[in-house]
A and B are shown apart, each in its own frame.
Chain A
Amino acid sequence: MPAQILAFLNFKGGVAKTTDTVNIGAVMALHPQIGGKRVLIVDLDPQCNSTLWLVGREVYRWVQERDQTVHEIFRRSLKKLKPDMASIIHPVDKSELSGGRLDLLPGSFSCLKLEEDPKMLDDNALGHLVLTKALETIKNQYDYILLDCPPSWSILTRNALRAAHHVLIPYTPDYLALEGILWMRQLHEEFSQRVGIGNIARLTGVIVNRVRNAANHQYVNAHQQAITELGQVIEQLHQKHGYRLHVFQPHIAETSAVAEAVNYQEHLLNKDMNHPVTRQFTALTQDIMMHLRILNPRMIEAA
Chain B
Amino acid sequence: MAVQHQEVTDSLKLQKLIARLREAADTLEADEPLLDSSKVNALNAQMEVLVNRLNQSEKEALTVSKSDYLRARGPWLEAWNFNAAQMERSVLFALGLNALPKGISKDTMSDRLHLLSVLLAARGLDTVLELSKAQPIATLGYQDYGIAIDRKANQALLLWGQMPQDEFLQKMTTFDEQTIRCSAKAVGLSGAKWNTTARRELHRRAVRFARNTML
Contact = CB atoms under 8 A, between A and B. Distances in A.
Interface of A: 33-34, 99, 175, 178, 182, 205, 214, 217, 219-225, 227-238, 240, 244-250, 282-283, 286-287, 290, 294
B213 A236 contact: yes
B187 A228 contact: yes
Interface of A is mostly: helix
Contacts of A294: 70
B33 interface: no
A282 B30 CA distance: 25
B145 A229 contact: no
B212 A175 contact: yes
22 contacts: A175-B208, A178-B213, A182-B215, A214-B188, A222-B188, A224-B186, A224-B187, A225-B208, A228-B188, A231-B145, A231-B148, A231-B149, A231-B154, A232-B149, A232-B154, A232-B213, A234-B147, A246-B145, A246-B146, A247-B145, A286-B109, A290-B73
B146 A205 contact: yes
B149 A178 contact: no
Contacts of B154: 228, 231-232, 235
Interface string B179-215: 0000001111111100000000100010011001101
B204 to A, nearest CB: 11
Contacts of B109: 282-283, 286-287
A233 B212 CA distance: 9
Q: Which 9 A-B pairs have the closest CB atoms?
A: A224-B188, A221-B188, A247-B146, A231-B149, A225-B187, A247-B147, A232-B213, A228-B186, A225-B188
Nearest to B73: A290
Given A182-B215, A250-B81, A231 B205 contact: no
A238 B208 CA distance: 22
Interface of B: 30, 70, 73, 77-78, 81, 109-110, 143-151, 153-154, 185-192, 201, 205, 208-209, 212-213, 215
A249 B187 contact: no
A238 B190 contact: no
B100 to A, nearest CB: 18
Contacts of B77: 249, 287
Q: Indicate the member of B30, B109, B205 with the most A CB atoms within 10 Å.
A: B109
Contacts of A221: 188-190
Contacts of A250: 81
A247 B74 CA distance: 11
Contact of A229 (B30, B70, B201, B212): B212
A282 B110 CA distance: 11
Contacts of B189: 219-221
B176 to A, nearest CB: 19
B3 to A, nearest CB: 26
A175 B110 CA distance: 33
Contacts of A246: 144-146
A178 B212 contact: yes
Given A175-B212, A246-B145, 6 more contacts: A228-B186, A229-B209, A235-B143, A235-B145, A248-B146, A286-B110
Nearest to A223: B188
Q: Indicate the member of B186, B205, B209 with the most A CB atoms within 10 Å.
A: B186
Contacts of B215: 182, 233, 236-237, 240
Contact of B201 (A175, A220, A234, A290): A220
Q: Indicate the member of B30, B146, B209 with the most A CB atoms within 10 Å.
A: B146
